[in-house]
Amino acid sequence: MKGILSHFCFWREIGNEAKFSFVAFLPVFIAIFLPIIYPLLISLTYSNQSVVERNAVVMDLDNSALSRDLTLSMDATQGVHITRSVSSLEDGIQAVMSREADAFIFIPDDFSDRIKRFEQGNLKVYVYATNMMIYAAVMTGVQQTVLDKNVEIAVARIANPNGVTGERAIKTIDPIQYSRYILYAPTLAYASYICPILLTIVFHQMGLLILAFSIGYHREKDDAFKRRKLWYIEYFWRYLYYLPFILLGTFIVYYIICPLFGWPCDNPTEMMKLMILLVVCQMPLAIIIASFCKDRFTSFQFILGLSLFFFTLSGYVWPKYSMPLWIQSIVDYLAIEPMASAMRKIAFKNSVLMDCHQEIHKLVRLHLLYLAVAIVVIHRDLLVWPFQKIYRSIRKTNAEALPEQSPLPQSGSEQTEAQTQ
């Protein structure tokens, strides 16, 4: 009983972890600075990547007043910036493929003539569509310019000759107006779209990394600790020691870094609650990983190597329903998917944590699943021990129940030899 109770001495485990983390320095350095430095580097990297105006090149073979006015109108929009003219179709496409420009606008030589003959003018737009945020910015600017120019031409050719002028002419030609509200995307800024999920992955990875790194470093430096079999509760106390450091990191990120760089985060307190919920819910998974780490390098190789994996399967940039069915089955057992969904609601829809009840329920269910698996993995020797004892008892009973075998009869020559001796 004394040996069992020793595993529940939280003051001893937390004290030992605190002493080791400050003496070895690396664990406490990672716990304090990684949640701060990593988001800061991400913010500095993406701060100038806002999709506001995308460069475009133009080839105007028509060179008419109408085509020049159309080009200037596109350049005046928020999404398109005309940088230069090209001399051939190949040069324009090459400018897009080489990323000199994000779009190539081609105006044929009969553009204005066709419109004067009451035919449709053909305008071709080549867009770099690998990045959907760039595609949306360019096409929005081009489409809005074309729509406005169509109304202007129709007013001049149809409404004005019939005596309809001014605002009434515009309403006659363009009778339906609409207001557009884009949900889940507060701006066309690529950085504002991508950085919230990257900051989420930082704390997701932090929750998995810190305990694994500490336990692996312990085993690397201390042979006695390496031979020691930790119980789940002992891993828990050590994980609990690092929670305040992660809480400090979330505070700095969502109260200082996000406002400083303008990332979407109207409810920093709710985002902090969500991060702590994630770190706590995936704690058993972190303990499982830590139990297999033999040194500090194993933890980094295992956790950081999965960053892109978690990012891809978060359902943020690629919807879950578009993934293969076997991939969807894997996503169902990862905490990053409900985490990304809740983050999207809080960051972009001004929700609170309690509005994300479906995501919370899934995180709790995953926690219980991780907990059951962790207990089986950590205490596999204790769980197998009763069955081993029963097996040995059965073997011993069977061995005692077997009758003693009588010696084999000796042959005649063997009996004679024995008598002579």
Q: Are 374 and 232 in contact (CB under 8 A)?
A: yes
Q: What is the mean pLDDT of residues 288-302?
A: 85
Rounded CA-CA distance 207/336 in Å is: 12
Q: What are phi and psi of 17, to 5 degrees?
A: -65, -40
- How does residue 403 score in pLDDT terms, banded at 50, 70 and 90? low
- How does residue 226 score in pLDDT terms, banded at 50, 70 and 90? confident
Look at residue 64 and tell me whether its pLDDT is greater than 80.
Answer: yes
pLDDT, residue 186, reads 43
- Dihedral angle, C-alpha 242, 244, 249, 251, nearest 10 °: 160
Q: Are 315 and 331 in contact (CB under 8 A)?
A: yes
In words, the CATH class of domain 54-173 is alpha beta
Alpha-helix runs per DSSP H in 182-231: 190-221, 223-227
Look at residue 4 and tell me whether its pLDDT is greater than 70.
Answer: no
> What is the token pair recorded at 159?
């409404």
Maximum Cα–Cα distance across the chain:
147
Mean pLDDT computed over every residue of the chain:
83
Q: What is the mean pLDDT of residues 352-379?
A: 93
- How does residue 187 score in pLDDT terms, banded at 50, 70 and 90? very low
- How does residue 359 score in pLDDT terms, banded at 50, 70 and 90? very high
Look at residue 19 and tell me whether its pLDDT is greater than 80.
Answer: yes
Q: What are phi and psi of 77, to 5 degrees?
A: -75, 165
Rounded CA-CA distance 209/202 in Å is: 10
- The rounded radius of gyration (Å) of the Cα atoms in the chain is 35
Q: Which of 72-86, 122-136, 138-152, 181-195 has the lowest mean pLDDT?
A: 181-195
Rounded CA-CA distance 79/127 in Å is: 13
pLDDT, residue 92, reads 93
Q: Are 266 and 350 in contact (CB under 8 A)?
A: yes
Look at residue 326 and tell me whether its pLDDT is greater than 60.
Answer: yes
> What is the token pair recorded at 7?
């595993």
In this prediction, what percent of the chain has a pLDDT beyond 70?
A: 85
Q: What is the mean pLDDT of residues 65-93?
A: 91
- CATH 3.40.1710.10 in the chain is located at 54-173
124-127, strands of its sheet edge to edge: 80-85, 54-60, 103-107, 124-127
Among 287, 292, 370, CA closest to 333: 370
Tell me the DSSP string of 225-255.
Answer: HHH----HHHHHHHHHHHHHHHHHHHHHIII
Look at residue 107 and tell me whether its pLDDT is greater than 90.
Answer: yes
Rounded CA-CA distance 303/206 in Å is: 9
Look at residue 374 and tell me whether its pLDDT is greater than 70.
Answer: yes
pLDDT, residue 31, reads 85
Look at residue 130 and tell me whether its pLDDT is greater than 60.
Answer: yes
Q: Are 246 and 274 in contact (CB under 8 A)?
A: no
Indicate the burial class of 6 (C-beta count within 10 angstroms; 0-12, 13-18, 19 or more): exposed
> What is the token pair recorded at 108?
């044929």
Model confidence pLDDT, tens digit, residues 228-281:
888 898 899 999 999 999 889 999 999 999 988 888 888 899 999 999 999 999
Indicate the burial class of 366 (C-beta count within 10 angstroms; 0-12, 13-18, 19 or more): buried
Q: Which amino acid is at 144?
A: Q
pTM value > 0.85: no
pLDDT, residue 67, reads 93
